[in-house]
Amino acid sequence: MASKLLRAVILGPPGSGKGTVSQRIAQNFGLQHLSSGHFLRENIKASTEVGEMAKQYIEKSLLVPDHVITRLMMSELENRRGQHWLLDGFPRTLGQAEALDKICEVDLVISLNIPFETLKDRLSRRWIHPPSGRVYNLDFNPPHVHGIDDVTGEPLVQQEDDKPEAVAARLRQYKDVAKPVIELYKSRGVLHQFSGTETNKIWPYVYTLFSNKITPIQSKEAY
C-alpha cells in the first residue's frame, strides 16, 4: 500500500446514508470524517467570525454561500495536512470543488445514487436533535425513548425540509448543483458511483474500493 495520504470525498443527496457510510469508512480505515455541517455547528456555537457569517444565512433559512463554507473548510483542512480524510458535505458546488483543487488533489470520490422514493421514506422517518446535529431514523436507529434524544433527554424535532413535498425540491436542487461536481470528478477518473436502496448492501462495495487504496485498521468489516 502506498504511504501517500488519502484524500476522499463522499457525495449524495439528503437521506442517502452519507453520514452512516462516512462513519463506517472512518472506523474501518482510520480516515478523519470531516463534515461541513459539523464544522458549521461548532463555529456557530463558538461564535467565530465565519460562524457568525454563516448564522446570518441560516437564521433566514438561506443556503450558506460558497465563500463562507469554503473559508471554513479551508481552515479545517489546513489543520489536518498530515491526516487521511474523508470530506462529507463539501465540495457541494463547482466553485467549492475548484477551491479544494487549489490546496490538494482528491484521490477518490464516491457518489451515492438512491431512488427518490427511498429518500422520501427515509427522510419522513428522520428526527433530529438540533443542538448536536444527532440524527435518528425510526426504522434503523430509533431513539431509546420516542421523541427524546438519547444523550441529553431533550426533545427531537422533524425538520420542515424532511417533509415529502420539501424532499422533492431539495433533491432537485441537489441534482442541479451536484451535476457539474460529479462530471468534474468523473472526467478525472476518480469518481465511483454506488446505487441501491440499502446502505448495508452498498457498504461491502465501498469497503472493497477503500481496501484497494488504504489498509483497513480493522480486520473485518465493522458495522
CATH code assigned at 17: 3.40.50.300
In a domain, 59, yes or no: no
pLDDT grade, residue 220 (50/70/90)?
A: low
Residues flagged as binding site for AMP: 36, 41, 62-64, 89-92, 96, 170
In a domain, 187, yes or no: yes
What range defines the domain where residue 84 resides?
7-32+80-212
% of the chain residues with pLDDT over 70: 96
How far apart CA 202 and CA 21 sit, in angstroms, is: 9
Residue 142 has what DSSP assignment? -
pLDDT of residue 36: 92
pTM reported for the whole predicted model? 0.83
Residues flagged as binding site: 15-20, 36, 41, 62-64, 89-92, 96, 126, 135-136, 170, 199
Residues flagged as binding site for a ribonucleoside 5'-triphosphate: 15-20, 126, 135-136, 199
C-alpha cell at 30: 482510520
Please give the tally of structural domains in the chain: 1
pLDDT grade, residue 2 (50/70/90)?
A: very low
Judge contact between 21 and 221, C-beta under 8 A.
no
